[in-house]
Chain A
Amino acid sequence: MEYKVEAHRIMSISLGKIYNSRVQRGGIKLHKNLLVSLVLRSARQVYLSDYYSGACLNAAQSEREANEWDITDSEREKFPSSTTECDRVESPEEPQQTERPEKEHEHRENDDDLKSDQVDCTSTLQQEQNQNSLDSVANVSSETPPETIKEPKESPSESAVAERDSTPEANGESHQPPKTHVCSNRKRSAEETESGDSPQKRIKVASSDAEGDEEAEEMDTSNVSNLITIFGSSFSGLLSKDGAKPESETEDSGQICCDQMLKNLNPWSTAIVAF
């Protein structure tokens, strides 16, 4: 767990550096920001993989997600499709919200994929750890179905949902797809399982906010994760394709992301508010 804390801290520091680099004299230093983005990506991978191997959510969370998903459905269009790296990684907080927009689109009938992944939790983790972002980013961004994300692909079939009992690991995947009906099934099975993992508690806390806040937070953390995705997977967040004018584009997206970061009240904010 301390790895998770450390990774989280490094991510916050890295984001702060990227944010500060925009106001530094002499313009953005490409080399330094590239290195920072690499650190950010490494930290993020550790952060997420560590969680994943630890414990997954129980379905009680997915129940809350179900509620949120209805709200966020409309939000989906607001997010750029470039938030791709998150999609392939299963994790509790921010990715769940980032992935929701994409996943909704892709996985509407695919809840069974998640179930199938219960078994494949560990192997998927390894796969993720082995892959590095760029290729998978490219794959996912092309909106191909889950094949690119998870290993064995089974065609979605809702019938299987009720059959497969949720193991603790399964829950890590289970919250992903925004299916109300699926969730109700899981909720039933999840309620039967007990899990005292702190990640779950964390999600519960985050989800227990008022309805109105959920929407705002959701958007905030999505932008945070967008920012992280952008920086983590590549360098696109800092530079436009026309290298001649990197700063103007950066500032727009960076400004929005950072502003919303600062408004955020979830665990991310403690480190970032200082900036």
Chain B
Amino acid sequence: CNRPNALLCSVAADIISTVEFNSTGELLATGDKGGRVVVFQREQESKNQPHRRGEYNVYSTFQSHEPEFDYLKSLEIEEKINKIRWLPQQNAAYFLLSTNDKTVKLWKISERDKRPEGYNLKDEDGRIRDPATITTLRVPVVRPMDLMVEATPRRVFSNAHTYHINSISVNSDYETFMSTDDLRINLWNLEITNRSFNIVDIKPANMEELTEVITAAEFHPHQCNTFVYSSSKGSIRLCDMRASALCDNHSKFFEEPEDPSNRSFFSEIISSISDVKFSHSGRYLMTRDYLTVKVWDLNMESQPLETYQVHDYLRSKLCSLYENDCIFDKFECVWNGSDSVIMTGSYNNFFRMFDRNTKRDVTLEASRENSKPRAILKPRKVCVGGKRRKDEISVDSLDFSKKILHTAWHPYENIIAVAATNNLYIFQDKVN
């Protein structure tokens, strides 16, 4: 069992609201509550400094979204970045989609390390030269300059969502993407911003009949016609866009019957799915609800293949968690590159990993005190009752203000990024 060690810890100005590696793992993007995006880039291996291999440094920082005011509804639109999704790299520039509650933006991140000098009509500062002073003609020359990383908004996809956007997902065709709010899913072409197609609409004719909302959606990693969306009732629907233009009828419906012995006032809340992720293989689905992570086989709709308890000791504390709003926390979940390990966050800055093959799990903590650079993370344990051992922490001592909602796993390697409030931790397998 590998023990991750800490590589880098960086502090964001604001609470981190999303974390995402790009498809090669070279870049790591974080979005925060203030609408900023910070992109980290992995250091290239260098013979001179082999120990610095794999460190992530800040590559680019930009303000993606600003707070807006909807005058029609007298509503402020938060600038918080809900999700970032990278596009696959097609040229020297990098592209990502970032979204707040209402608007999706396509950002281009590109490097500039040369610039032309020696213009005829303007001087080096850019001021226009007096034509009378120009007596010779020269060809501008491209000279190297200090590396500059620029981020420019290339597309703005707006005015398509009445409700709050909770997910975006890039299609494997690399031409389209979808944006999802509480009741609708819209399909966009990456090139076209003034038109989107509604592919799922679960808004009832009479809003009084509303019983569930969409909580997350994702395209299949390989089949560009297939996507899934999860609901607040704990179900997942798989849809095929070839079947009809409006995918209100699902192809598959995944739901596990509720265990009646666990029924409480809060059963509905804790069964609401907060995240859904396809495995890299495309064969499995993972869902996260408040207390568990479940792995589903796409071929079996009646029940999940595997269920992992993230923090079942909270089951008896649901009422307090309801009072302090923690029960509404939306935890995300991620697969590792080979789909053999899954990871999700918890409270007290704990995060959990489950090995699907060995059935072993580990609880780790992301905190400054415990993770000096290159220190090895020590497994943590929550004591659920009875005698508390020396290193264990009791349920009542857990800090519920320290929650790990967002994590990311490098697409190939055992490098993970963990967002703990406004700290970003990057852990890597110990290299022997």
Do A and B interact with each other, yes or no? yes
- By a beta-carbon cutoff of 8 Å, the part of chain A in contact with chain B is 6-7, 10, 13, 17, 25-27, 29-32, 34-35, 38-39, 42-43, 46, 134, 233-236, 239-241, 243-245, 247-248
A245-B322 in contact (CB<8A): no
* Chain A residues near B319 (CB-CB < 8 A): 6, 10
B210 lies within 8 A of A234 (CB)? yes
Contacting residue for A10 out of B163, B203, B265, B272, CB 8 A: B265
Contact assessment for B322 and A39 in the assembled complex, using a CB-CB cutoff below 8 Å: yes
Q: How far is the CA of A35 from the CA of B233 in the complex (A)?
A: 10
Total residue contacts A-B, CB cutoff 8 A: 92
Chain B residues whose C-beta falls within 8 Å of the C-beta of A43 in the assembled complex: 265
Cα distance A245–B328 in the bound complex, in angstroms: 24
Q: Say whether B74 faces chain A, with CB atoms less than 8 Å apart.
A: yes
- Residue from the list A7, A32, A46, A241 in contact with B328, Cβ < 8 A: A32
Contact mask B260-302 → A, CB, 8 Å, 1/0? 0000011111001000000000000000000000000000000
Residues of B in contact, count (CB < 8 Å): 37
Knowing A34-B210, A239-B207, A243-B163 are in contact, say whether A13-B73 is a contact too (CB < 8 A): no
Known contacts A10-B322, A134-B209; is-contact A26 B268 (Cβ 8 Å)? no
Stretch at the interface among B10-18, B75-83, B369-377, B408-416: B75-83
Residues of B whose CB lies within 8 Å of any CB of A are: 72-78, 80, 101, 162-164, 166, 182-183, 203, 206-213, 215, 232, 265-269, 272, 319, 322-323, 325, 328
Q: Residues of A contacting B72 with CB < 8 Å?
A: 245
**In the assembled complex, which residues on chain A have CB atoms less than 8 Å from the CB atom of B208?**
233-236, 241
A46-B265 contact in complex given A26-B76, A27-B75, A243-B203, C-beta closer than 8 Å? yes
Asked if residues B76 and A35 are in contact (CB atoms below 8 Å), the reply is no
B207 — which chain A residues lie within 8 A by C-beta?
Answer: 235-236, 239-241, 243
A27: chain B residues at CB < 8 Å are 73, 75-77, 101, 164
Tell me how far the C-beta of B347 lies from the nearest C-beta in chain A, rounded to whole angstroms. 19
Closest 7 A/B residue pairs (Cβ): A236-B208, A26-B78, A234-B208, A27-B75, A235-B210, A30-B182, A239-B207
> How many Å from the CB of A154 to the closest CB on chain B?
32
A-B contacts, 20 of them at CB < 8 A, read: A10-B265, A10-B319, A10-B322, A17-B325, A25-B76, A26-B80, A27-B101, A27-B164, A35-B269, A39-B322, A42-B268, A134-B211, A233-B208, A236-B206, A241-B207, A241-B208, A243-B162, A243-B183, A243-B203, A248-B74
Q: Which residues of A contact B322 (CB under 8 A)?
A: 10, 13, 39
A25 surroundings in chain B (CB, below 8 A) = 76, 78
Most B Cβ at <10 Å: residue of A27, A31, A247, A248: A31
Closest Cβ of chain B to A212, distance in Å, is: 35
Known A-B contacts A27-B76, A29-B164, A39-B322; the reply to A241 vs B206 at CB < 8 A is yes
| Chain B residues whose CB sits within 8 angstroms of the CB of A235 once the complex forms | 207-210
Residue of B nearest to A46 (CB): B265
Give the residues in chain B near A17, CB-CB below 8 Å.
325
CA distance A233 to B206 in the complex (A): 13
Q: What A residues does B213 contact at CB under 8 A?
A: 30-31, 34
B263's nearest neighbour on chain A, judged by CB, is A42
- Give, as a whole number of angstroms, the nearest-CB distance from B43 to chain A: 37
Q: Which residues of B contact A241 (CB under 8 A)?
A: 206-208
Report B-chain residues with C-beta under 8 Å of the C-beta of A31: 164, 166, 182, 213, 215, 232, 272
Which residues from chain A contact B268 at a C-beta distance below 8 Å?
35, 38-39, 42
Expressed in whole angstroms, the minimum distance between the Cβ of A227 and any Cβ of chain B is 14
Interface contact A234-B209, CB-CB below 8 Å: yes
Cα distance, A134 to B208, chains bound together (Å): 9
Q: Which residue of B lies closest to A6 (CB)?
A: B319
In the assembly, what is the distance between CA of A248 and CA of B70, in Å?
13
**B209 contacts A13, CB within 8 Å?**
no
- Chain A residues with Cβ under 8 A from B266's Cβ? 39
The interface residues of chain A lying within 8 Å CB-to-CB of B74 are 247-248
Bound Cα distance from A128 to B209, whole angstroms: 19
Residues on A with C-beta less than 8 A from B203 are: 243
Contact of A26 among B75, B166, B182, B269 (CB under 8 A): B75
| Residues of the A chain whose Cβ atoms lie less than 8 Å from the Cβ of B209 | 134, 234-235
